[in-house]
Chains A and B, each alone.
Chain A
């Protein structure tokens, strides 16, 4: 494969995507068993974005995330078992049960947290970029947000600021075509969100968000520019969520043909086919990877379900340091 990536790296990316998929499928099942309080927003179908972006990042680089954030966490290196425990509201979760599915953070791997206010993470990512610039390190920030968030004022304010200050931020728009149930064409006149980059004087690129290598390549270039102090990039990844907006959403607003088309473009299947075709991986190895991942996810589920709930009075802690 002409990617310039090592086999180990490529297998690792495949593995990560599979890990996210399996994780989300188990969350879906646990939800059906009433083991998940509240609601969930699953990442299934969009794995190529998180993995394609994060495979370019170092541990000390940062990401910010959204309400649909499980995949970002795992892609950046958070432990699935502690993500799962947080989703289940357990004391052993990353946020001791105070955040839940929509507010997971793991500062030890540079995951600066998921915010559930659409678009609110964009200025925060920009601020992390400002911090990097002021501290004079060569870290970068990848800021994940959806097509819906690109219509918030924060998108404009933060990208403009990042642009004018040449901050090392990669703005990653995960365009899954729908803001909750609202189709993009109803609320945006232009076809590519990436075109908006022109208005801020920064590079903007729209890529096939279901092609992990394409996402990886676009991000690689953006990260390189950022580390060199050349400022931010807006990358729009065209992708699709396999499930509805949240667990309760049957997503009836999406045409059947559209869903089927995107399922055919499933990023994991495409990547697998490519890997088999190019003899990077053998079927037997893939089965082995799958087996390992299923074991790992089962361990995560076991860890999370067996973990204790937080003591109720813990609700009063952590308001201030």
Chain B
């Protein structure tokens, strides 16, 4: 099968959906002809679809999302890009109070089919305002779906589902994933939300990982295999809805759980997953649940500082070894 990058996979999804449905349009800062998006995801799309449908906006995050909300409730399917996940804080009211709640608050009268794409993640030395992983913020808002693909295949399939769906979707990407290559079929496909993917089969310990950490977990699993420890890597792919079944099924098989997530540990993605397993599958646990996450600090700038806080193969291996 052909291989393309995560970034190309996202772009393909956008292009195909824009061709298929004239109500799909993009808006965001520097996503148009001149730049093609800070991470070049939308590069070339303005040329094909024009400035109206690939719309450069002022630097007004709140109004970008507000515009998407207003358009979504009046018949359009906007896909908004927020240049860095950290900047979603500027648009939080529009995301959490408006986009997420309108369907509910108005008694189901209207649907809000919009997608907010944004990259999270540390590792490229751009410090505290451009490196956070804030997925958990959005998991905490009922009414939003939260997608978090880790591979080109998942990125394309999930983005298509996000655009076609009738609910607001917070679509988490990761800066370090954009150049990653993976197999993506030429033919049409979409990936349903709420269906996890077992990225690697194993029998001794379940590692649930998200976004870029899926790759770190797979690296760790490879090393552990050599030492005789069989690791199963489960990627939830969407955090809301979360495929609890797949996670608990895996834990029932292995009896051990390590959750790896790049966000801060306290009240983070890993906390939620650990809680679900404690609540629904504790009788299958043969060891304490381990969480590998960033410490509760902002992301620092200097490379040694930054590398210190990001989970990696070594910290994952250490956590696994503590419980097998």
Which residues of A line the B interface, CB within 8 A?
Answer: 62, 64, 93-99, 103, 105-107, 112-113, 115, 117, 120, 122-135, 141, 153-154, 157-158, 160-161, 164, 317-321
Contacts and interface: CB of A to CB of B under 8 A. Distances in A.
Nearest to B101: A103
A141 B66 CA distance: 14
B45 to A, nearest CB: 15
Interface centre among A106, A129, A131, A154 (most CB of B within 10 A): A131
B37 to A, nearest CB: 19
Nearest to B80: A127
Interface of B: 23, 25, 52-53, 57-58, 60, 62-63, 65-76, 78, 93-94, 97-98, 102-111, 142-143, 145, 166-167
Contact of B58 (A62, A106, A129, A160): A160
B294 to A, nearest CB: 30
Contacts of B103: 318-321
Given A99-B105, A105-B106, 19 more contacts: A94-B106, A96-B107, A97-B107, A98-B105, A112-B70, A112-B110, A115-B97, A120-B93, A122-B66, A123-B94, A126-B66, A126-B67, A127-B66, A130-B67, A133-B52, A134-B71, A161-B63, A164-B58, A321-B108
Contact of B57 (A64, A117, A161): A161
Given A95-B109, A126-B70, A117 B93 contact: yes
A131 B74 contact: yes
Contacts, number: 146
B53 A134 contact: yes
9 contacts: A93-B107, A99-B105, A107-B73, A124-B94, A125-B70, A126-B66, A157-B60, A321-B103, A321-B111
A100 to B, nearest CB: 9
Nearest to A164: B58
A124 B58 contact: no
Interface centre among B25, B60, B106 (most CB of A within 10 A): B106
A83 to B, nearest CB: 13
B8 to A, nearest CB: 26
Given A135-B76, A160-B60, A320-B145, A123 B66 contact: yes
B143 to A, nearest CB: 6
A112 B104 CA distance: 13
A124 B75 contact: no
Contact of B142 (A103, A128, A319): A319
A97 B166 CA distance: 22
Nearest to B53: A134
